[in-house]
Amino acid sequence: MAIIYVLFAFFVLLTLYDFKKGVLLFMPFKLFFGMNVRLLPSMTVDFAFCLFAISLFGLRRHLFVKEKFPLKKCFVIYSVSYVLNCLYPDMALNYIPRIVISVLCFSYVYYCCLQNRKDIYFAVYSYLFFIVLLCGNGLLGPLLSINPLDDYIQSVSNEELSFFSDNDLVRFGRERYRSFIPHAISYGVLCVTLLYLLVWYLLKVARGEKAWIIIGICLLLSGVVICTSRTPILGLFPFVMIFRDMKISFRKIRPFLLILVCFLLLQGDYVLYLLKSVFASDVADDAGGSSTEMRMVQFSIALRFFLQSPLFGQGMEFNPSSFYNEFYGGESVWLPLLTNQGLVGLAGYLFYNVCLYKMARPSPGKNVLYALLLSWLIMRSATSLIGVTDATFLSVFFIIYKWYNIEQHATDNYCSRL
């Protein structure tokens, strides 16, 4: 446990010394500290640091370049709808910080810390450093049958997380691996989300420092493979959209194409098998996953509870699985929204995603942002995520958006001086 306190102290001291670097570096490591690594019995490391950073940002707000935050109205309305769901029909105050503080408020601070190209570089390489730890540790499972970082996280967690550790399902003769993310599916979804960041950076931004980016891309693809989940494969399909904004020579795209060809040659049969299992019940049973038919049963259960309390839902702590075993974890973001939060939660989340679309629309990099948003919605719609929140997605979205925004303003300022 002492190491956790040392790491927390490091991030606090770094943030006091250089606020932007502290916030930008901590964002990836929110995923390492996870949902149950606690600084105090009643406070997670993640929440403690987010609260500290938000408070310090409030004191130092005058030091940042004043600019309009495109999602201000969106975050306020989404927060209000979420808080209402936490207050009615049952009080669930402990749920409020998970989204309002640790995701929305901290993501806003993160956005404000991305002020110039150097900040973008630092943010991307912070994620690259994290990717090496994440996927390097993930590969130790199939190679050496060990998972040291997850073993450590489990040892310092205050509550038993063995349920999330029990991922011994075998698909197509392969065991599922998850690094230190609580579930194998979440691990694969995280790898795909970060893959969008590194591929975009390789094709659009990187100049001479490409070797580590390519290594990072290969590591992320290894995570997509060893998690043995269909959802990340579905999240890869919008990738084709990111090339529409870029004038790319074959020489620049060659490393990416080589990686892609190798991936398809090695994993093509497996990818087709996983995709077939989405629609074919017999293949889904063999794969150990949910078929389309099973998901329709889950939707019908969610709709039944939604109709009983359509405005606010059944409450944040309501668990449909205790009434119907077939519901499992409600394998889509929309099912808990219907069941637990009703129309208020559903409208808030839809409004939030529409605002992200509108934010991307005027950007020169809109197709990259559309691809990322579509991929995230596909994956969130296909399954429930354990241990991965919208904070990671928002940080990647903001990095790409701010890069184009900074480039556009630099061009405008240069033209105005001519």
pLDDT of residue 289 exceeding 70, the answer is no
The pLDDT of residue 387 is 84
Beta-bridge partners for 21:
none
Instruction: Quote the Cα angle for 183-123-231, to 5°.
Output: 30
Residue 264 makes CB contacts below 8 A (sequence gap 6+) with 271
Residues 324, 327, 330, 334, CA torsion sign:
negative
Mean pLDDT, residues 46-61 taken together: 94
Closest CA to 253 of 202, 209, 205: 202
Question: If you search the block for the tokens 């354990």, which residue do you land on?
Answer: 386
| Lowest mean pLDDT segment, chosen from 33-42, 266-275, 343-352 | 266-275
pLDDT tens digits, residue range 153-187? 888 876 554 445 545 556 556 688 999 998 899 99
Per-residue confidence (pLDDT) for residue 270, from 0 to 100:
67
| Position 410 confidence tier, pLDDT thresholds 50, 70, 90 | low
Please indicate whether residue 201 or residue 291 has the higher confidence score (pLDDT). Answer: 201
pLDDT for 69-87, tens place per residue?
Answer: 999 999 999 999 999 999 9
Determine the pLDDT at residue 62: 79
pLDDT tens per residue, range 334-367: 999 999 999 999 999 999 999 999 999 999 999 9
**CB-CB contact of 23 with 108 (8 Å):** no
| pLDDT band per the 50, 70, 90 thresholds, residue 39 | confident
For 308-329, what is each residue's pLDDT tens digit?
999 999 999 998 888 877 777 6
What pLDDT score was predicted for residue 248?
A: 59
Query: What's the mean pLDDT when you consider all of the chain?
Result: 86
Spatial neighbors of 253 by CB under 8 A, at least 6 apart, are 203
Q: How confident is the model at residue 414 (pLDDT cuts 50, 70, 90)?
A: very low
User: Residues with Cβ < 8 Å from 349, sequence gap 6 or more?
Assistant: 78, 333, 337
List, for residues 278-287, the tens digit of each pLDDT value. Answer: 556 565 555 5
For residue 58, is pLDDT > 90?
A: yes
- Amino acid identity of residue 129, one-letter, is F
